Amino acid sequence: MFPLNAWYAAAWEQEVGRTLTARTICGRQVVLYRTEGGEVAALADACWHRLVPLSMGRLDGDNVVCGYHGIAYDPRGRCAFMPSQETINPSASVQSFPTVSRYRLVWVWLGDPNLADPAKLPDLHWASDPAWAGGGETLHVDCDYRLVLDNLMDLTHETYLHSNSIGNDAVAETPFSVSHTDDKVVLTRWMLGIEPPPAWDAELKWRFPDYDGPVDRWQIITWQAPSTITIDVGVAKAGTGAPQGDRSQGVTGQVLDMITPETDRSCHYFWLRMRDYNLDDEDYTAAMVRAVHGIFNEDAEMLNAQQKAIEAHPGYDFYNLNIDAGGMWVRRLIDRLVAAEADLVGERALAERG
Amino acid sequence: MPPRQTASWHRVKVRESFAVADQIRRIVLDPPAGPAPQPGSHVDVLVPAAGGGHLVRSYSVVDDGRFAALSLGVRLDPHSRGGSAFMHRLCPGDEVTITAPIQTFGLTPRQSRYVLLAGGIGITPMIGMARKLKADKTDYEIFYAGRNRVDMAFVEELREDHGERVRVRYEDEDGRFDLLEVFGGLTPETELYVCGPVGMLEAAQKAWEATGHPSHLLRFETFGSSGRLPNETFEVVVPKLGLTVTVPPDKSALDALGEAGCEVMSDCLRGECGLCVLPVRVADGVLDHRDVFLSGRQKAQGDQMCLCVSRLSGGSLVLDLP
């Protein structure tokens, strides 16, 4: 249940080099590599000849050579060499997919290649803006990617699942508002005059070591179709104007979550935790990545269990609560995108075939 | 294109059949369930074989948007091996067994420029490709050549749909396209698609190379359906089996040998895969190579042939069965 006419994060830029990287994205097996010129090629990971994974082969210049019989393909997927004959079979090729490198990631487009416009990438400018610093990693989660989106669109769970770090009662107790467009859902929650949870207390102390008072805390969660969620988070000294836009008395983080379906029941979860202070301190970045790693692994454990529980209870649906509004909007908009894609195919079929 | 699809066979009804040029009929079929045909695709059709059983023949989908159904353009081969003659006899209401559309001649997306070169009935897959290129607002041109006016189908439709982007050559009036001139004026990123007789393909390959274009930007489809010479009867001698087999104009050497009990491995039946290539010891006629498996060098050497499509101009040849 995912649209294909979209950019999906396939790998970190540094993961793709002069070797072959196999990755399953939206159920499609893809092999990624970098050409000598530095471009990222993405090909269907199945040899035209006998379907073995091309990722088990090797690179020869810009071409992938199948590890079984030596059939070679160029970065566009066109066959460039065939063993034991002087010609090349005219239909020999594998599918190639458009890619773009941006925001530290390689993105791949699996749908209609003519629609693959880099302008359709989600906005993740914090990842490459020098005014921000941070790091991240990939989490592999054995669940439907939409369960991760549900998780991120409802941070009420922080109170219960992450009570040792970022959760406290205030998150669950404070109401939120949800707005949406066709390809965006924004959930906003302001917690005013609260006691900061441990992790946020530590972050604020980096900038204001002597401050021990209450804080105004925010979580502004933005889903961008089909599966990117950015969370604008932070705390500021209570009553210093943060809700009105003055964050000078606080610290701000951006949690960037790029969730790519792998199969119907597994996903690649790329994340970055950016901050707007202490920009040059790599040890601080490493410590922050470790902290988020711990928190997200609590999520992954729950999500893996949730997927198993769903499969163990066939014939049962979720009961939705008020706190699920954000996730439900996301699911509704994803359904619309998938239906629109099916309609597009259907309309073409209708126009062409009746 | 991508790995070969497993064929799914469907029994469908003929909706319409009418002449669109001399010896060419447009045959409109109920579309089999499944996705719409991709530009450049074809269907395989089960046609009755002369001696019983069935043969598989491939026909390109003519996708010009004028029929809300699956439409084929079929030229009657004067020496039909049964395929085109069977297709031309089809009437509305008849049933025929076909595959879902198969894509082996797909457009490479996002080239900066495309040139489609068609000879005769080779225009059929190009029609859907051109429509797609137009819809995608790409830069493309169509070069369409045929022997004469009456032989060429879909000229008016193409002009209507593509205007100045179509150049048509009636070879009896205008002579052939000067391919050196055409290709010489193209940017290096241009991709060329050729569908037509083997002679046209070979001329295009030569001119493409001579004008400095990379071979991987030339894509083609032939169906192995026509050669330089007309179909004649010839004999194939297989000393190892003590066999002499007559190959009539309407039958391939592969089929004639098979019927005589000489079983040769084969697969594509369109001169592409090379499975049915056997060594030729002697030939007293001219070998008319209609395959795209053997290289020009190998064809010139004349000591092997692709039995599913290639022929002898007459006389006999001796095959070395391994």
Q: Are B237 and B244 in contact, with CB atoms under 8 Å apart?
A: yes
Residues found in chain A? 354
Q: Are A259 and A334 in contact, with CB atoms under 8 Å apart?
A: no
A93 contacts B2? CB cut-off 8 A: yes
Q: What does the pLDDT read at residue A307?
A: 98
Q: Please name the member of B106, B136, B293 whose beta carbon is closest to the beta carbon of A114.
A: B136
With an 8 Å Cβ cutoff, is A69 touching chain B? Answer: no
A114 contacts B109? CB cut-off 8 A: yes
pTM of the shown model: 0.89
A78 contacts B68? CB cut-off 8 A: no
DSSP-assigned letter for residue B108 = P
Q: What does the pLDDT read at residue B35?
A: 80
Helix B123-135 to helix B155-162 angle (10° resolution) is 10
Return the closest-CA partner of residue B75 out of B110, B16, B26.
B26
**pLDDT mean by block of 10 residues, chain B; 322 residues:** 77 95 94 86 88 84 87 86 87 95 87 94 95 94 94 95 96 94 95 91 94 91 78 96 94 94 92 95 95 93 96 96 88
| pLDDT, tens digit (0-9, with 9 covering 90-100), for A30-80 | 999 999 999 999 999 999 999 999 999 999 999 999 999 999 999 999 999
With an 8 Å Cβ cutoff, is A51 touching chain B? Answer: yes
When pLDDT is averaged across residues A1-30 and rounded to a whole number, the result is 97
Q: Are A259 and A229 in contact, with CB atoms under 8 Å apart?
A: yes
pLDDT band at A348 (very low <50, low <70, confident <90, very high): low
Interface mutation target, options B12, B58, B110, chain A, most CBs of A under 10 Å: B110
Q: Please name the member of B3, B221, B292 whose beta carbon is closest to the beta carbon of A51.
A: B3
* Three-class SS state of A5: coil
Q: What does the pLDDT read at residue A354?
A: 39
Q: What does the pLDDT read at residue B225?
A: 63
Closest-CA distance of chain A to residue B3, Å: 4
**ipTM of this predicted structure:** 0.83
With an 8 Å Cβ cutoff, is A76 touching chain B? Answer: yes
Interface mutation target, options A45, A344, A353, chain B, most CBs of B under 10 Å: A353
CB atoms within 10 A of CB A29: 15
Return the closest-CA partner of residue B111 out of B19, B23, B193.
B193
Q: Give phi and psi for B118, each to the nearest 5.
A: -125, 145
| pLDDT, tens digit (0-9, with 9 covering 90-100), for B132-190 | 999 999 999 999 999 999 989 999 999 999 999 999 999 999 999 999 999 999 999 99
A350 contacts B68? CB cut-off 8 A: yes
pLDDT band at A352 (very low <50, low <70, confident <90, very high): very low
| pLDDT, tens digit (0-9, with 9 covering 90-100), for A10-19 | 999 999 999 9
Interface mutation target, options B38, B272, B275, B299, chain A, most CBs of A under 10 Å: B272
| pLDDT, tens digit (0-9, with 9 covering 90-100), for A260-299 | 999 999 999 999 999 999 999 999 999 999 999 999 999 9
Return the closest-CA partner of residue A116 out of A134, A99, A136.
A99
Q: What does the pLDDT read at residue A130?
A: 97
Return the closest-CA partner of residue B30 out of B10, B46, B47, B51.
B10
The Cα-based distances of A57 to A13, A43, B35 in angstroms read: 21, 13, 32
Nearest-angstrom CA–CA distance, A65 and A72: 4
Closest-CA distance of chain A to residue B173, Å: 32
